[in-house]
Each structure stands twice: as structure tokens, then as C-alpha cells.
Amino acid sequence: MRVKVKEVGPRDGLQNEPLFIQTEDKIAWINQLSKTGLSYIEVTSFVHPKWIPQLADAYEVASRIERVEGVTYAALVPNKKGLEGALAANMDEIAVFMSASETHNRKNINKSIEETYPVLKEVIDEAKRANKTVRGYVSTVFGCPYEGEVSIERIIAISDRLFELGIDELSLGDTIGVANPIQVQRTLERLLKQFPVEKMALHFHNTYGMALANVFASLQMGMTIFDSSLGGLGGCPYAPGASGNLATDDLVYMLTQMGIDCGVQLEPLTKAAQWIEEKIGRPLTSHHSHVVRGN
């Protein structure tokens, strides 16, 4: 069995950091991540800088990183304007995003769910014309900070629509980290009847410390693609209560200990974690980084 770890630290990990990380430092960090065996890095997002000031340097970061062969470099894109930036920086993959709940969708991208589809269609069509692969995120799959529970029918309908629009892979977002392993299995049971397992990914946040348990529950359902952020950095500023992502170092440690190949080496990953820890100026929250610090 082989698991694919998709590093979203430079985007999801940093987007909520209050202290601006210098452009040179972001580039240096991504360059380090590229040499850890990771095969996928989401490097930034081409969103409005007023909404996400930390990533205002998206083009500079994306266009100046050193590309390593075999690594896919992706960027988050909300609309055509964002796509223009991502294409100018020659990103390999475009990630579009929307929410399963109406309120979070509006707070996050200022549109209703229905209004979002044509915008995404335009982005997906144009990205395909430019020979890019497209990933789709659905947020608030396991719960919304404004609306609470989200029905499985709604998640299926949105996923269906996104695949129809042409996405190559769908990432299911537990935006505020409220999923539990049984809920994850029940959700996957329904979704995997309709969508191929190799096109489905999971994106856990770790608010209640359940992300690794949710990964284990998902592995049992045959899932093999997981998004994570080094050191457990992360959170969505438009989702109150959203805390850090599943930590890449904890995920790689667990997979390695279980004898599951993910191709990522813990030693350079640890160095990259220590390096960004210094830049953000506070201790990382992953279990692995606690062990490394000895506290």
C-alpha cells in the first residue's frame, strides 16, 4: 500500500499566520519541502490580498521556487483573476474551492453556492485548455461553524457537480476539525459508492486531536490521499474555531511506523519544521515537534 501525502503548509498552514513571513523565507521553506520526498506541494493561493494578506506575494513565491522533478506544485485559485496569476507562474495544478454549507461559502468567497459553479467552470475550462490538472476542494463536509451538520446528500450533489465540471480529484475538507472516525467512515461509505477512491482525498484539521484517528479510519476504507501541513500549522480565517491542519510530521511518522510507504523522509522534514518554527516565532503544535523539542 502506498499513501500520497499532499503538503498544504505553504498555503493552508501560513494563510492564517498573523506575522508576515518574508517572501524569501516562504521560497526557502518550499525549497526545503521539495527535498523531503514529498511529491505534492500547494505553494500559495491567488486570492484577494485584502482577504488573505499573508499570501499577497503569491506570484513572487510561485514563480521563484526551485522546481524539483517529480514534485507537483499547486496553487489555490478562486476565480479567473486568480487563475491568470497561477498560469503566469506556471503552476502544475490548479485547486478550486467551495463549501458544502451556504454560509461558509459566502463568508469565504462572497458568493452563494449556485453563483460559485459558473465561476469554477470558467476556471476549470481555462485551466484544462492550458493542460493543467484541477483539484477541487469541498469545505465544511463534516460540519460548518455557522450551520452545524451538513447533509450527505448535499455533499454528494456538490461532489457530483464538481466532477461534472471536470475536476481530476476531490478533497473533502474537515474545515473546523470536528469529524470523528465513525462519521468519516459513514461519509466515505456513501461517497465511494459513487466516486472512484483514487480520485478522492481527505483534508483534516486537528481541532480536537482526531485527525490521525480519522486518517486511520479512512485508510480502512481504502483512501490513500491525505492533505497535511508541516508542524500542524493552519486554519481558515473565515471559519471561526478552525485550528491547525493534520500535521505532516505526525502523519509521516504514523505511516512509517505502520509500514505504509509514503516516500517522505522524516529527517529533512524535521529540519524544515524547525526552520519554519523559528520564522513564525512560536512552537509548532505537532506531536512530533514536541518530541523533537523535548517538551
Residues 230, 279: contact at Cβ < 8 Å? no
Residue with cell 476549470: 124
Q: Which residues contact 48 (CB under 8 A, 6 or more apart)?
A: none
Name which of 38, 89, 45, 107 is nearest 68 in CA terms: 38
Binding of residue 137 to ligand HMG (CB under 6 A):
yes
Q: Which is nearer to ligand HMG, 81 or 290 (CB)?
A: 81
Q: Which is nearer to Mg ion, 195 or 238 (CB)?
A: 238
Report the distance separating Cα 280 and Cα 271, nearest Å. Answer: 15
The sign of the dihedral angle between the CA atoms of 220, 194, 161, 187 is negative
DSSP letters for 130-164: TT-EEEEEEESTT-BTTTB---HHHHHHHHHHHHH
Q: Which residues contact 47 (CB under 8 A, 6 or more apart)?
A: 55, 58, 76, 77, 78, 82
The stretch near ligand HMG (CB under 6 A) out of 20-28, 42-50, 124-132, 180-188 is: 42-50
Name which of 28, 19, 1 is nearest 275 in CA terms: 28
Binding of residue 145 to ligand HMG (CB under 6 A):
no
Q: Which is nearer to ligand HMG, 15 or 36 (CB)?
A: 15
Question: Among ligand HMG, Mg ion, none, what does residue 82 contact (CB within 5–8 Å per kind)?
Answer: ligand HMG
Give least dist CB 45 to ligand HMG, A: 5
Binding of residue 48 to ligand HMG (CB under 6 A):
yes
Report the distance separating Cα 287 and Cα 237, nearest Å. Answer: 23
Give least dist CB 172 to ligand HMG, A: 8
Contact pick of 12, 17, 93, 249 for ligand HMG (by CB under 6 A): 12
Helices (H) and strands (E) in the chain, counts: 11, 8
Is 144 catalytic? The answer is: no
Read off φ and ψ for residue 56, nearest 5 degrees.
Answer: -65, -20
Contact letters (x/-) for ligand HMG, 236-275, by CB under 6 A? x-x-------------------------------------
Give least dist CB 240 to Mg ion, A: 14
Contact pick of 9, 13, 82, 244 for ligand HMG (by CB under 6 A): 82
Contact residues toward Mg ion (CB under 5 A) are: 12
Binding of residue 87 to ligand HMG (CB under 6 A):
no
Give least dist CB 12 to Mg ion, A: 4
Read off φ and ψ for residue 209, nearest 5 degrees.
Answer: 70, 25
Give least dist CB 226 to ligand HMG, A: 13
Question: Among Mg ion, ligand HMG, none, what does residue 226 contact (CB within 5–8 Å per kind)?
Answer: none
Q: Which is nearer to ligand HMG, 205 or 288 (CB)?
A: 205
Q: Which residues of the chain form contacts with ligand HMG (CB under 6 A)?
A: 12, 15, 45-48, 51-52, 78-79, 81-82, 97, 108-110, 137, 139, 173, 175, 203, 205, 236, 238
Catalytic (active-site) positions: 236
